[in-house]
Each structure stands twice: as structure tokens, then as C-alpha cells.
Structure 1
């Protein structure tokens, strides 16, 4: 495409801490890009020799795997970040409230940077992090529970570092803690706890998400009164789930519109994993909005309602080829307030805010 038609703000994460948080985000399985990942030396002990029934079940549940051979499925799974837990509080710390933060995980040094972003919380309460998608089992979550109970926890809050309750990784975590009947991937024994276990809400249901979106818009805004802001999301493929997610997104759109002073603000999902005709229709809708705004003399700016900075952003230039807009490709997990949201979510869920 003509580079004059689109400007992408570089994701300049100068601080290593912010970089780590940005790389340790939750992504749906279909969003991930494993190209170039070296899986030698990684711990994938949870990826046992799968049965044909398990391969077929994954094909039924994951669109990407529909036409994969067994070998291709296993190779893809082996390239995912390893599943493991990390206890980050001092071993001498004791507390009634224990906190588990579940995150998709990345590779080092990303996992360590994410852990470091939670050190303030870990000084106050026993905290463990569960890394990984938990496609095969929830052993790392169980281990985290056991460690928190050993630290004196009488109540445990599980915080999913996820954007939407419609994501498959979120759904798999919810399955393990008993919040969902069906596994999003493979079924396995659920976790057990001797104390009360509470599953917190994802970022989409928290008002801090709107502030992060607004901050990302301000980074590329020149004159809000003469700008149309488009907030774009990945979105679930299922129409009913997408409708629910759009309702949540609309609340953030209204907040950003009220606080940002933009001429207009809209939000919409690509439904990136939906059939081509559905996704194409969504792209056409958004292209129409951009064209209308440009015809009205407004500059178009765009931010992602996306947790990951490495998700679908690379598709944006193709989807909106020929249109003039400026796009901030940062995911919400790249925002400095992401770690603050984890802490606030944990304490609010525990009734200690």
C-alpha cells in the first residue's frame, strides 16, 4: 500500500519492565504467531503423547487446527510458551489473602519482567503467577494454590490477565477453577483448594480499560475536536459472544468519548476467526466509517482494543489499504497501568479496595 495513506506509531517500549508486560499478555490460540520461536530447552512436560481422540477434540475446538495433521498440531503446541508457576513473594511472608495471576506467558526475559511488575503487590500479600494456556492440564495452577495455602492464605483470588471473558484461554482457566463446565481445549482434572477460591473478572469489565484506551489515543492525537477515533478489537467468532463483547466495548467507547473531546468515537470488532464473509463485512463497516469521517474533514486515528501488541495489528494495513489514518499498534498490556489493574482487580475482588 502507499505509505502516505497510513501512519503507524512505533511501539517504543523503552523500559524493559513495560516491554515484559507487553509480551506476557493473554492471547486466544487463534491470535498467536509462533513463527521463529525456538522450543529447544523449554519445559513442555504437560504435552504428553496425545491420543487420537484428543487430537480430534482439539480440531473440533480450535479453528486453526481443523486441517492440521497430528504432527502439525503437536509442533504448534511445542512452540507455545511453557506452562509453569512462579511464587514471587518472600517465603517468610504470611497473609490471609493469597493471589494467583494467570497469564498467557511469553519467553524470558518477558516472564521475569512481568513478575517484577507485581513486586509491590507481592510485598503485601502472598502472590504466585501461573504462566501458560493450560491446554493439557492445570497442574501449575494447583501448585500455585498449594504454595499460597502453605503461606497462610485463607482466601485466594485468581486474577486472569485477560481482556475478554469470550477468549479461549480465559475460558480454559475458568474451567480449571470451576467457573465453566466445558473445557475450551482438552478436559483435565480441575484444581482443588482447602480455602475459598474466587475467580476475578477480565480487563474488559473494568473501567481502567477505558483510561488505557484514551491514553493510547492521546499518544497519536493532534487535535481531538477534529478527529474521529476508531477502536478496533479482535472479537469472538460466535455472533452471540461478539454481541456481548461489543456491549462491553461500547461502555469504554462512551467513556473515551466523554473524556477525550474527540469529534466522534466508535468501536467495532473484526471477528478475526469468523468465516471470511463475516470478517469482510465487519471490515467494510469500519472502512465506511473511516471514509465518512475523512469526507467530513476529520482526521482518523485508531487504537486497538487488544491485549497483545503482537496480535492482529499486522493485518490493519491490508484491511484499510488506501485510507488515511494513524494507528497506535500498542496492546493494552503495554500500558503502565496494566500491572496496576491486576493489583486493583485482585483487591477489589477480595473486598479490600
Structure 2
């Protein structure tokens, strides 16, 4: 267990500002492993991490590495699967469910590895898993075949660890924080209800980043509906130098193509770095998993 915790704390990118957050989780994990809860009792818990999926093998590899770090930090023998909503053949959500149930899992902790509770994908996955009776938006996703009880977690939204990850990624771009505006750019949604949840979560996340960074301004923009060019122009006209932080799980089409295309003709700083890789993302998942496991009646 100690080696797995050391691994989660290590790696480049994490700054000293998140030391207290990491230490709190490490203490919780250590305490948890001393408790009598077993992964091999009459009811058997398991973990299913669900993300979108990508044709980019490196995108998938980064997710797999984060999930492997989570598995290393959990009690030995507890099954963990990483599955994808689409694209990654042989590793779709039903494939992950089937593998966990073949290992005897009766209580399935599902971590939706998406950036916002405003994602329509989170809504349709919850519906297809039987967590909710009807989806808020029409979906082609049918109910999955499963027998296990489902304990559905939370997407990223505005977790303090995520704010620290974002600042760790963009801090090298900062030269004069008192003259800089950081713009968090997320996917967003055009659908009522979902758009508002996107805005609420990313706005709160931007405020958290401001609290830990010392930047003069932190704000957000969405690709859907598009407000990126407008927001950059707004802050530049007020004399700020603008840096862009993509709020995406892993680098891919949106970070490499879509965001830069919305910024044509503007002056800005942009590393293109998504959340992964970062050692705090496994901690964020572990935090949820351990909390849910404590609430279970096994």
C-alpha cells in the first residue's frame, strides 16, 4: 500500500499548494486499509470507471494509467475496470460490467470520468445503468445488462483537487499574475438544464483556481454555445494578458484543433495541456470510491 500511495503523490505537475489535500487523502486511504471491510465478503464491491473514449491510443493510455494508479491504492483483490462510452472496441461499458460480474461483483461503484454534471453523457449513462428512471435528454443508449447494485459517483465539476491540477498545468505560462486573466475553456452544452450545470460548475472551478493562483482574473468560456473569442477579447480590451486552460480530460481533437480554431486572430498563451497526466486525478477518484465504500452496507 505504501508504494502505491508514494506513486500517487509523485510525478511532475503537483505543487506544494495541494500538500494538505493530498495528505488528507493519504491519511484516509491508510485508515481505510486498517478497517475490516473486505473485498471478498458475501457482497463483493468493484469499481467501474467510465469515460468517453477516443480513437487516439495515447488518450486511452493516459486514462488506463490513472485507473491503474487507483487500483493500486485500493484493497488488494478489489476488481477495477476502465470502460468507455464509445469508440474503444472490446472495452465498452457493457464489456466492463460483464468482466466485473464475472469476478463476482455484487456492488458496482461507478465513477463517471467526465468534466461536468452538465454532460449529457453523464445523464444517459446514469439512465442506462438504472440510476434514474428517465433521461433528461432523449438518448439512443439502452439499459445495460447487469445484476449488481450500482453506486453512481460524481463527475469532475469543481472539486478542489481539479482546481489544483489546472493551476499546476498553466502556472508555467504565468509571468505577471497581477496582469493576467486565465480563461477555463470547457465543452459546454446547448441543451437547457445541461448548459446551466456546465456554467455553474466551471464558474465555481474558475473561482477556486483564482483562490490558489493569485491571478488577477479567472473566468470561463464554453465551446457550446461558443463564447471563447468573445471572452478573450473582453479581457484583452481591459488590459489583461490572457492564458487559456482547456478543461478536458486528455489531450485530443478539442485541445489540439477545436480550441485553437476558436482563437484565430487573437493573442494568447496556451499550452494545450489537459488534466491528464496528473497524480492528483487518481486521488480524486480514490476519494469518491472510499467515501462510497464506507456508505455501503455489505
- TM superposition score normalised by structure 2: 0.71
Preserved contact between residue 156 and residue 198 of structure 1 (Cα < 8 Å) = yes
Aligned residue for 1:214?
Answer: 167
What pairs with 1:298-337 in structure 2 (closer than 5 Å)?
298-313=240-255, 314-337=257-280
What pairs with 1:100-249 in structure 2 (closer than 5 Å)?
100-105=48-53, 107=57, 110=61, 113-124=65-76, 126-133=78-85, 138-148=93-103, 150=104, 155-180=107-132, 181-182=134-135, 185-194=139-148, 196-249=149-202
SS in 2 for 1:269: strand
Preserved contact between residue 138 and residue 188 of structure 1 (Cα < 8 Å) = no
Query: What are the ranges of 5 or more consecutive residues in structure 1 without an aligned counterpart?
Result: 1-17, 19-92, 272-277
CA distance in 1, matches of 2:40, 2:164: 34
Query: Given the alignment, which residue of 176, 197, 206 partners 1:253?
Result: 206
Q: CA deviation at 1:204?
A: 1.3
Preserved contact between residue 232 and residue 270 of structure 1 (Cα < 8 Å) = yes
When residues 125 and 197 of structure 1 are mapped into structure 2, their CA distance, relative to the original with a 3 A threshold, is farther
CA distance in 2, matches of 1:199, 1:205: 18
Aligned residue for 2:292?
Answer: 349
Q: CA deviation at 1:330?
A: 1.3
Q: Deviations over 1:94-141 (max 9, x none)?
A: 365322222334548827545533341354451221422159985324
Preserved contact between residue 134 and residue 173 of structure 1 (Cα < 8 Å) = no
SS in 2 for 1:192: coil
Q: Deviations over 1:263-288 (max 9, x none)?
A: 111112120xxxxxx53xx2342133
Preserved contact between residue 213 and residue 303 of structure 1 (Cα < 8 Å) = yes
Aligned residue for 1:289?
Answer: 234
SS in 1 for 2:193: helix
Aligned residue for 1:10?
Answer: none
**Structure ID, larger Rg:** 1
Moved more, 113-122 or 201-210: 113-122
Preserved contact between residue 145 and residue 193 of structure 1 (Cα < 8 Å) = no
Preserved contact between residue 221 and residue 228 of structure 2 (Cα < 8 Å) = no
Q: Aligned-pair RMSD on alpha carbons? A: 3.1
CA distance in 2, matches of 1:302, 1:317: 10
- TM superposition score normalised by structure 1: 0.61
Q: CA deviation at 1:203?
A: 1.1
SS in 2 for 1:255: helix
Aligned residue for 2:24?
Answer: none
Q: Deviations over 1:160-206 (max 9, x none)?
A: 22212233433332122212424864343434335x42100011153
Preserved contact between residue 130 and residue 144 of structure 1 (Cα < 8 Å) = no
Query: Given the alignment, which residue of 279, 282, 297 partners 1:339?
Result: 282
Aligned residue pair count: 248
CA distance in 2, matches of 1:187, 1:119: 28
